[in-house]
Amino acid sequence: MQKTLQGFPPQPGLSRFTLSEVFVETAADAAALGFALARLPRGQRPVLWVQDRVSRKESGYPSLAGIGPLRPIIMVNVTRAADVLWTMEDGLRCRSLGGVIGEIWGDPAVLDFTATKRLALRSEAAGVPCWLIRRLAHPNLSAARDRWRIGARPSAPHPHDSQSPGAPRWAVELFRSRHAKPGQWVASYDRAADRVDLVAAVSDRTLDAGDGAAGQRAAG
């Protein structure tokens, strides 16, 4: 039987139709974006992706070559955090989207509890998952239903060459949730199965050297 994260749906890799917030460990870390994309529902519906100017300048324009033609991405580049929020909220009116992702730098005053509450309610009303990526930010008051911290970690050992990097891994922490028990995991991406695997983090915060048999698997 497939194991799942406590409190999450039977397919724990899939986003709920609500607002989730991710804080990156380092400002330019791309792990949060990969994690958010992996947790969107499968399918061919396009994803609306919005970046503010500073996020685009400091973390770069996302490379979408690996997503393929079955997952169209609608990229919107704006200047201010207020424009990101307006675009995300407007996009959440469209029920044909497969998800909405926004990137905001820092702690702008416009990103307050009311703004996140509007996003959460729009997401839930439309049945479209919404992810807000926070760079160089603090976990201030928010209406996000799930709040994560994500950072890159050393890759897994390569199965055939000890001098080469293996599968990518990230440290994942769910530190606040209205539906699930908070916890910490090591996440890795199985390219062949197009799946994210979550393995319970060990107590000293180092990576588990085992084979992950006790891990909790999340369909990506």
Tens of pLDDT, residue by residue over 187-198, are 887 777 767 777
Residue 78 burial class via C-beta count within 10 angstroms: exposed 0-12, middle 13-18, buried 19 and up? middle
Domain ranges of the chain: 19-154+161-202
- Residue range 147-182, pLDDT digits in tens: 999 988 888 888 888 888 887 788 999 999 988 889
- Residue range 47-58, pLDDT digits in tens: 999 999 999 888
The top-scoring range by mean pLDDT among 34-43, 81-90, 211-220 is: 81-90
Domain 19-154+161-202 belongs in CATH node 3.40.1000.10? no
The DSSP 8-state label assigned to residue 142 in this structure reads -
Instruction: Using alpha carbons, select from 192, 183, 191 the residue that is nearest to residue 215.
Output: 183
Higher pLDDT, 4 or 27: 27
Q: Evaluate if residue 3 carries a pLDDT over 80.
A: no
Q: Between the CA of residue 199 and those of 26, 31, 124, 188, 209, what are the distances in Å?
A: 22, 16, 29, 8, 11
Tokens of 97: 């989207």
Q: What is the DSSP string of 46-113?
A: -EEEEE-HHHHHHH-PPP-TTT-TTS-EEEEE-SSHHHHHHHHHHHTT-TT-SEEEEEEES--TTSSH
Decide the pairing of beta strands 130-135 and 99-105. parallel
The top-scoring range by mean pLDDT among 40-44, 70-74, 143-147, 213-217 is: 143-147
The model carries a pTM of: 0.80
Instruction: Using alpha carbons, select from 41, 130, 140 the residue that is nearest to residue 90.
Output: 130
Instruction: Using alpha carbons, select from 16, 26, 1, 8 the residue that is nearest to residue 185.
Output: 8
For residue 74, the number of C-alpha atoms closer than 13 Å in the C-beta half-sphere is 14
Q: How far apart are CA 94 and CA 69, in angstroms?
A: 20
Predicted pLDDT of residue 121? 96
